[in-house]
Amino acid sequence: MQYFKVCVIGAGYVGLTFAVKIAQEGLSVQALDINKKKIDALNSGFSSIPEKNLNTQIKKLLNKKIFFNYTKKIVANDIIIATSYFPNKPLTYLKIFNLIEFKNKPTIYIRGTVPVGFIKNTIQKYLKKKKLKIDKDYFIVSAPERTLSGDALNELSNLTQLVGASTASFKKAKKFFKKINTKIIHLGSTDAGELAKVFCNFSRLSLFNISNYFMSVCSQLNLNEKKIIAGIKKNYPRLDFLANPGPGVGGFCLPKDSLVLSDSFHKTKKYFLKQYPRSQYDLNRKIIINNIKLCEKYFNKKDKILILGVAFKGFPETDDFRDSFGLISYRYLSKKYKTFTFDKNIDYKILKENKLNPITFSEINKFKKIIIANNNQFYSKILKKKNNLKFIYDPWRLITKPKQKIFYFN
């Protein structure tokens, strides 16, 4: 068995892009995943993740600096855990540590989101039962990922890495990040690193909720949100934080991490610490459902509805559709109407496997009632050529003009 000093567990978006970054800096790295189809594709030089330059770099580095394999026993000096934590399912996450051989006294980097205190109160206690001592038999670091999906390789070379760790573990991490030319900030304990991660995503969700709530209000009152926001922001810098509104925040990270932050305080008697992030998650869901219901006013039972864009965002492009606005829209509307989907970045077979009733590109022109579910400019080029539209929901304003409303009905 070939020995690697660096091992990344999880070859999804977070793990794969970080593994490529490590390899780009000249270190040999092994990336592991339980998904055999994914590993086989990576070993042929292909990833379905629509990340700029990703496939080019994989082909360049494959079997030279980066190696892919199925999950197995792990022996390495630096081990990056880039798998997802799911709220209220700690045991699933802890199974990863059963794969690690500790004879090399590895430094373990928790790259994904976990609740605040999870490393100290759950991981370390779990390893203590195995008679493993922190900063002696192993070192552990909270090193959360904060990159923008679609632009991760660029941001990994420019973003300062946040680190939460004990003094001894930080010294180990400092050496590793120096080797891959990454600047770091020591925030304090692992709790600090965990909090930094979840708060980044929770705060972003909260800010998006403000703008998205405003658009829902304007839609309810038949007002033009674009025009009003431009007016209230003009020469009024105190509202510069307002983002361009959308139909609600989709994707796996921002909403899920708000639940993870809430989960961090499940034992506290200070209820608001748990409830506030949970309320932001719930608010986002209500905004999404409200906007879907507003569309329903223009539908009848015989209509065929097309959802354009199932991925949670269109720019930067991604094929990730977990908890996306398009996915939620389809699941809601397909119970009442003949509903179909199309996405530029998601393979027809994948949409079909997930029972999302996909159509081919050539079939788009048949539909007269369309919901634009992400902001990929590709859809604007298609729709501007269509002259048979009866209804379109365009929260991203890909084809509607600033003075028009986001609901177009002919």
309 located within any domain: yes
- Note whether 359 and 306 are same-domain residues: yes
42 located within any domain: yes
Q: What is the pLDDT of residues 18-27, one digit of tens each?
A: 999 999 999 9
pLDDT at 89 over 90: no
CA separation, residue 247 to residues 216, 250, 300, 347, 404 (Å): 8, 9, 22, 24, 16
Name, in order, each residue with C-beta under 8 angstroms of 346's C-beta and a sequence gap of 6 or more: 310, 311, 319, 321
pLDDT, mean of residues 365-389: 90
- Note whether 261 and 325 are same-domain residues: yes
- Note whether 46 and 156 are same-domain residues: yes
**What pLDDT is stored for residue 2 in this prediction?**
62
- Note whether 112 and 254 are same-domain residues: no
Per-residue H/E/C for 322-337:
CCCHHHHHHHHHCCCC
* Residue where a domain stops, chosen among 188, 205, 239: 188
Distance CA 313, CA 247 (A): 11
Assign 122 a pLDDT band (cuts: 50, 70, 90).
very high
Assign 367 a pLDDT band (cuts: 50, 70, 90).
very high
pLDDT, mean of residues 128-144: 97
Orientation of helix 190-220 relative to helix 253-263, angle to 10° = 120
Instruction: Please answer whether residues 202 and 261 qualify as being in contact, where contact means their C-beta atoms are separated by less than 8 angstroms.
Output: yes
144 located within any domain: yes
Number of domains forming the structure of the chain: 2
- Note whether 300 and 361 are same-domain residues: yes
CA separation, residue 352 to residues 252, 288, 322, 340, 360 (Å): 20, 24, 15, 11, 11
155 located within any domain: yes
215 located within any domain: no
- Note whether 258 and 353 are same-domain residues: yes
Q: What is the pLDDT of residues 307-348, one digit of tens each?
A: 999 999 998 888 889 999 999 999 999 999 999 999 999 999
Assign 71 a pLDDT band (cuts: 50, 70, 90).
confident
**What pLDDT is stored for residue 410 in this prediction?**
64
159 located within any domain: yes
**What pLDDT is stored for residue 378 in this prediction?**
94
| CATH code where residue 29 lies | 3.40.50.720
**What pLDDT is stored for residue 17 in this prediction?**
96
- Note whether 127 and 229 are same-domain residues: no
Q: What is the pLDDT of residues 140-198, one digit of tens each?
A: 999 999 998 888 999 999 999 999 999 999 999 999 999 999 999 999 999 999 999 99
pLDDT at 279 over 70: yes
Flag the least confident range among 175-179, 200-204, 216-220.
216-220
- Of 395, 348, 381, 378, which is closest to residue 246 (Cα–Cα)? 395
- Note whether 169 and 274 are same-domain residues: no
1 located within any domain: no
**What pLDDT is stored for residue 275 in this prediction?**
94
Q: Which domain holds residue 285?
A: 225-409
- Note whether 283 and 405 are same-domain residues: yes
pLDDT at 253 over 90: no
**What pLDDT is stored for residue 269 in this prediction?**
79
* Residue where a domain stops, chosen among 140, 165, 188: 188
- Note whether 95 and 147 are same-domain residues: yes
pLDDT at 255 over 80: yes
Cβ-based neighbour number of residue 246 at 10 Å: 23
Distance CA 55, CA 57 (A): 5
Percent of the residues in the chain that have a pLDDT greater than 70, as a whole number? 99
pLDDT at 288 over 80: yes
Across the chain, what does the average pLDDT equal? 92
pLDDT, mean of residues 247-260: 90
* Residue where a domain stops, chosen among 188, 203, 235: 188
pLDDT, mean of residues 235-253: 91
- Note whether 235 and 382 are same-domain residues: yes
pLDDT, mean of residues 86-114: 90
- Note whether 144 and 283 are same-domain residues: no
State how far Cα 57 lies from the chain centre: 21
Residues facing 184 on adjacent strands: 161
Between 282 and 384, the more confident residue is: 282
195 located within any domain: no
